Chains A and B, each alone.
Chain A
Amino acid sequence: MKKVNWMVVIAGAFVGVAALVLTLLGNPANMGFCIACFLRDIAGGIGLHSAEKVQYIRPEIIGLVLGACIMALAKGEFRAKAGSSPATRFVLGAFVMIGALAFLGCPLRMVLRLGGGDLNALIGMLGFALGIFVGVQFLKRGFSLRRNYTMGRPEGGILPALMVGLLILFLAVPTLFHLSETGPGSQHASFWIALGLALVAGALAQRARLCMAGGIRDSIMFQDFKLLYGFIAIFLVALIGNLAFGTFKLGFELQPIAHSSHLWNALGMVLVGWGSVLLGGCPLRQLILAGEGNGDSAITVFGMIAGAAFAHNFGLAGNADSLNEAGELVVGGISSAGKVAVLLGIAVLLVISILNMPQKEKAVQKN
Chain B
Amino acid sequence: MKYIATFHTHLAALVTSRALATRQVKAWMAPVPRALSSSCGTCVCYEADLPMLEAMDGDVERVYRVAEAGQFELLFENE
> A residues engaging B (CB < 8 A)?
5, 7, 72, 75, 77, 139-140, 142-148, 150, 206, 209, 211, 214, 218, 221-222, 224, 226-227, 280-281, 285, 289, 292, 358, 362, 365-367
Q: Is the interface of B mostly helix, strand, loop or mixed?
A: mixed
Residues of B near any A CB (own CB < 8 A): 8-12, 14-15, 18-19, 29-31, 34, 38-42, 59, 79
Known: A139-B10, A147-B59, A206-B38. A226 touches B31 (CB 8 A): yes
Assess the B38–A77 pair: CB atoms within 8 A.
Answer: yes
* Cβ–Cβ < 8 Å partners of B31 in chain A: 214, 218, 222, 224, 226-227
**A222-B31, A224-B31 are known contacts. Are A366 and B14 too (CB-CB below 8 A)?**
yes
Of the residues B34, B38, B40, contact of A72 by C-beta under 8 Å: B38
Q: Assuming the A-B contacts A150-B79, A366-B19, are A214 and B34 also in contact, with contact meaning beta carbons closer than 8 angstroms in the complex?
A: no
The count of A-to-B residue pairs whose CB atoms sit within 8 angstroms is 56
Q: Given A147-B59, A366-B18, are A281 and B11 neighbors across the interface (CB < 8 Å)?
A: no
How many whole Å from A153's CB to the nearest CB in chain B?
Answer: 15
Who on chain B is nearest to A213 by CB? B40
Bound-state CA distance A224–B30 (Å) is 8
| Contact, CB under 8 Å: A209 / B34 | yes
Which residues of chain B come closer than 8 Å to A280, judged between CB atoms? 40-41
Interface CB pairs A-B, < 8 A, 18: A5-B34, A72-B38, A75-B38, A140-B14, A142-B11, A144-B11, A146-B9, A148-B8, A209-B34, A209-B38, A209-B39, A211-B40, A221-B42, A224-B30, A226-B31, A227-B31, A289-B39, A358-B11
